[in-house]
Amino acid sequence: EVEPASEIVKRFSTGAMSYGSISIEAHQTLAIAMNRIGGESNTGEGGEDPERLYDPERRSAIKQVASGRFGVTSEYLVNADDIQIKMAQEAKPGEGGQLPGSKVYPWVAKTRHSTPGVGLISPPPHHDIYSIEDLKQLIHDLKCVNPRARIHVKLVAETGVGTVAAGVSKAKADVVLISGHDGGTGAAPLTSIKHAGGPWELGLAEAQQTLLLNGLRDRIVVQCDGQLKTGRDVVVAALLGAEEFG
């Protein structure tokens, strides 16, 4: 039995692109489009304008929590349908990132709760996550703040991602996202874009097999993103185990 189109669109979301890396017009237009068709848009790690949080037309359904914690407040979290913990970025796993001070405009600083003109650094790790147990604690805390929201954990496709995905499942996350190296190029150096991370096909296959072998597959939703551009990409991802697509 095939799902109706109204249900299929709910399986799609936009990539996480933060306000500051793209303009307010682009960020808001993506949210409006996804809200109208029934999919979900993602705030990225730059937070969201408080005025948009309460507007069902303009709000992003997925709120991201990244290592810099920019814009993350209780108000931000309780107005989320889904909350995504970003462990790494596809094109530069384990590297962190930096927004130069010249790009921290007053309106960007306001959304990120920072100082205009002062550079912002996203650390390579979350400084409160150094083990699966630490991740489980953050998932628990986020569920306490917003019990209605699904908690996602974003991982990068690379060797060993299946083991991490199993840990994410045991930590009681609702969704694990496997991201391919073709996405997440924002603030990434060219050497990382060319040589870091792995294709989503390999990461997704490893995660699916590891979850099945450990009897964990039915406990978590598997999502995939990283430059899925065609219908064929979506079909391949579905065959490899993905249930949702970015």
- Which among 213, 234, 214, 216 has a CA at the least distance from the CA of 225? 234
Cα–Cα distances (Å) from 133 to 2, 72, 130, in that order, read: 39, 22, 8
pLDDT of residue 96: 87
**Which residues does residue 177 pair with via DSSP β-bridges, in sequence order?**
154, 223
pLDDT of residue 189: 83
Angstrom distance (rounded) from CA 15 to CA 60: 11
Dihedral sign, Cα of residue 11, residue 57, residue 84, residue 138: negative
pLDDT of residue 20: 87
Summarised one tens digit per residue, pLDDT across range 217-245 is 999 999 999 999 999 999 999 999 999 99
Cα–Cα distances (Å) from 97 to 3, 40, 168, 187, 219, in that order, read: 40, 25, 23, 6, 32
Angstrom distance (rounded) from CA 60 to CA 111: 14
What burial class does residue 68 get, using C-beta atoms within 10 Å of its C-beta: 0-12 exposed, 13-18 middle, 19+ buried?
buried
Q: Is 5-245 CATH 3.40.1110.10?
A: no
Summarised one tens digit per residue, pLDDT across range 189-218 is 889 888 889 999 999 999 999 999 999 999
Share of the chain above pLDDT 70, in %: 100
Kindly list the domain boundaries of the chain, sorted by start residue.
Answer: 5-245
pTM of the model: 0.94
Summarised one tens digit per residue, pLDDT across range 10-20 is 999 999 999 98
**Which residues does residue 12 pair with via DSSP β-bridges, in sequence order?**
245
